[in-house]
Amino acid sequence: MSNLIEARNRMVERQIIRRGITSANVAAAFRRVPREAFVPDNLQEFAYEDSPLPIESGQTISQPYIVALMLEAAALKPTDRVLEIGAGSGYAAAVMSQMVKKVYAVERHDELTLLARERIRRLGYDNIELRTGDGTRGWPEAAPFDAILAAAGGPVVPAALSRQLAIGGRLIMPVGEDLTHQRLVKLTRTSETEYDEEDLGAVRFVPLIGEFGWTAAEAPTAPIRRRPPTQALEGPTEERLTELMAAAAEPLPDFDDPAFGALFDRFASARVVLLGEASHGTSEFYRARAAITRRLIEKHGFTIVAVEADWPDAASIDRYVRHRAQPRHAEPAFRRFPAWMWRNTDVEAFIEWLRARNETLPAERRAGFYGLDIYNLGASMRAVIDYLDRVDPGAAKVARERYGCLTPWSREPAAYGRMAMTSGYARCEKPVLAMLNDLLSRQLEYVRHDGEEFLDAAQNARLVKSAEAYYRAMYFGATESWNLRDRHMFETLEQVLAAKGPQSKAVIWAHNSHIGDASFTEMGQVRDELNIGQLCRERFGLQAALIGFGTHAGTVACATDWDGPMEVKEVQPSLPESYEHLAYDCGVSRFLLDLRKGKHDHLRHRLIRSRLERFIGVIYRPETERWSHYSECSLPRQFDAYVWFDRTRAVEPLPTKTRRGVLETYPFGL
C-alpha cells in the first residue's frame, strides 16, 4: 500500500504540478483518491502511469494530467454543484467529490455506471450520484450547475448543457468539426442569454455520442473530414515559419538512389550516429535508416549497428551477418511480442545486404549487428550457461545454481517484480550480480578461447543483472524502470565500442523517445526521465549525431494492447499545434532538416519554443491520441536533424515459416 501512495504522490508532483497545474486544491484532491481502485485488477500496477488506461466497455480512464487541466480550468469551489458528462470509471467524479459539494455524473454505458457506482460506494464517497443516460441532454432536474465537465468531444457545445449552467457557471468541453481537430473550450455563462468563450488549446477526445452530439453511426467516420490549411487558421506569423522551413528543407530522393545516403555524409565524422523513428511499425523509417547505414558502413568506416532489440536475439542476427557459427541452443530471433518490430521485410533486406557485404571482407572489418535492450531474460541466462559449458564447466554448474532463482520467472519476468515487491526484498539480486562479477573477473582467462564469444557471454550476464533490477523497478514507477533500461542500453553501447577499439563507430536504431535528447522534452523536464540520446551527448559531445524521424499520416503496424495481435491502423493526421503539422504544411513531401547551430539559425530560433510531438510505440490508440501519443518537446534541441515523410505505410511482417531457398541457419526462420 505504501508503494502505491508513493506512486500517487510522484504522479501528482511529476505529471500534474510540473506541467503547470498551480491549484493546491486540485493537487490535494488527486493525492486523496486512489486511482488504482478505478482500473481493472490486472492494470492496477500501472495506475499511476502518465497515460490513459483501458477500462471496461472498450473505454479508457483519462490521463491524470488532462483531468487536472479541466478541473483547474473549471475553478471549482467547495459550494459548487457539478455535472460530469462521461463518468467512465468514476475516477474524475471521485476527484471532484473532494473539491465540491455535490457531483452528478452521466455515463452512456450501463456496465460502466454499475461498476463506478460500486467503486464509489466501497470507497465511501457519499456526495456523488451516477446514472446511465444521454450525456448530451445533461441532467435537467438537477440543474442549474456551477460547473459542467465533458470527457468526450462534440461538434458544438449542446445547447441543453449550456442552458443548465448557473449564471457564472463554467463549462469545459472538447469541441471540433471533426474528431481529429478539437479544441478544449471553456464557456462561462455571464447572463441569461450571454456566454464568454475561452480556447484552452488543441485536444483529441473520444466522440460525445447522443441526441445533441455525434450519432453512433457517424462517430467512426468523423476523423476523416478535412479542415482548412493551418495557415488559414494561424495567420501570417505561422505562414512565415512554414516558408522558412520549406526553404531549409532538403528534398530526399528515392531510398535506392545513392544521393539519399550521401545527404547524411555531414554526420559521418561522429563516433555515434543515432537514427530514430516516430513509430515501431513504419516502413519508411526502416528503409531510410537502412539507406543511411549502408552509406556510413561503405564510405565512412562504421562497423557497429546497435538496435533497440534484445541482445540474444540480435546476437543470432550478428552471427548470421558475420558468418559465425550458431551455438547449439540457438533459437530463431525475434519471436516474442512485438515480433513485427524486427521480423519484417525491411529489416530482412538490410540483414541480407550486410551479410553479402561482409562475405568478401576479412573478419576484423566485418560490420556487426548488436542488441541494446533488456527484455529477453531467459535467452540471456541460457547463453551464459552455454558459454561456460564450453570454457569452464565448473563455473557453468555455479551459474545454473545462481540463475535457478530467476528460472521460474524467465517466461514472465514481470511476475518476478511483483513477487519481489510483495516479499519486500530482491531475492535474486545478489546471485545474478555475483555471476556477472565472477565472469568479468576471469576475463583474461576466458578471452583466450574467443574474444567475441566472451563479449557475448559478458553482455548476456549484464542483461540478466539489469533485467532483474528492471522488473523490480517497474513496480516502483515508470521513471525508475525507464531510466534503468536506457542506462543499460547506453552501457551496452559503450561495451561494444570498447570491445571494437578506439576507432570504432556505431549507428544506433531506436525510437525517437530513446535517441532524442530527453532533457529538452517533457520526458526529462516533467518526468525526470533520461535516454540514450542524452547520455550520448553527455559522453561524446559533438561526436554524437541525433537524427529524428516524423510523419503526418498513413498506416502503421501496431497493437491495441501489450501482447495483443499485430494490426494495421490508420495514423491520424497530426494535430494542428504539433511539429508534425508544421512540417506537413511546409509543402515538401519528404525532406532532411539540418537543425545544428550555424545551419539555419533563424529557423532554429523560431522552432525552439516547445510544441507537441507525436510518439507511437508498439501500442497505438488513435481514440486517445492527444494524451497517449503526444508530448511537449523542443525539436531543435532534441535532435541535430529531422527526417520527414508526409505519408508513410506499415511494415510488412515476415511469415512465420522459413521459405524455400532460405538457409536453414537463417536467423528469422522458425
Please list the active-site residues: 62
Query: Residue 360 burial (CB < 10 Å; 0-12/13-18/19+)?
Result: exposed
CA proximity to 202, closest of 608, 551, 630, 569? 630
- C-beta of residue 633 within 8 angstroms of C-beta of residue 611: yes
- C-beta of residue 145 within 8 angstroms of C-beta of residue 163: no
Q: Which residues of 492-526 are buried (b: 16+ CB within 10 A; e: fewer)?
A: bbeebbebbeeebbbbbbbbbbbbbbbbbbbbbbb
CA proximity to 176, closest of 196, 195, 211, 201? 201
The Cα-based distances of 313 to 3, 44, 396, 474 in angstroms read 34, 31, 21, 23
Q: What is the rounded distance in angstroms from the CA atom of residue 53 to the CA atom of residue 145? A: 29
**What number of other Cβ atoms are within 10 A of residue 539's Cβ?**
15
Q: Which residues contact 106 (CB under 8 A, 6 or more apart)?
A: 83, 84, 85, 86, 87, 130, 131, 132, 133, 134, 135, 138, 139
Return left, alpha or beta for 110; rule: phi > 0 is left, psi -120 to 50 is alpha, else beta. Answer: alpha
Q: Which residues of 399-411 are buried (b: 16+ CB within 10 A; e: fewer)?
A: beebbebbeebbe
Half-sphere exposure of 249 (CA within 13 A, CB side): 23
DSSP three-state, residue 158: coil
**What number of other Cβ atoms are within 10 A of residue 628's Cβ?**
22
Taken as a whole, the chain contains a residue count of: 670
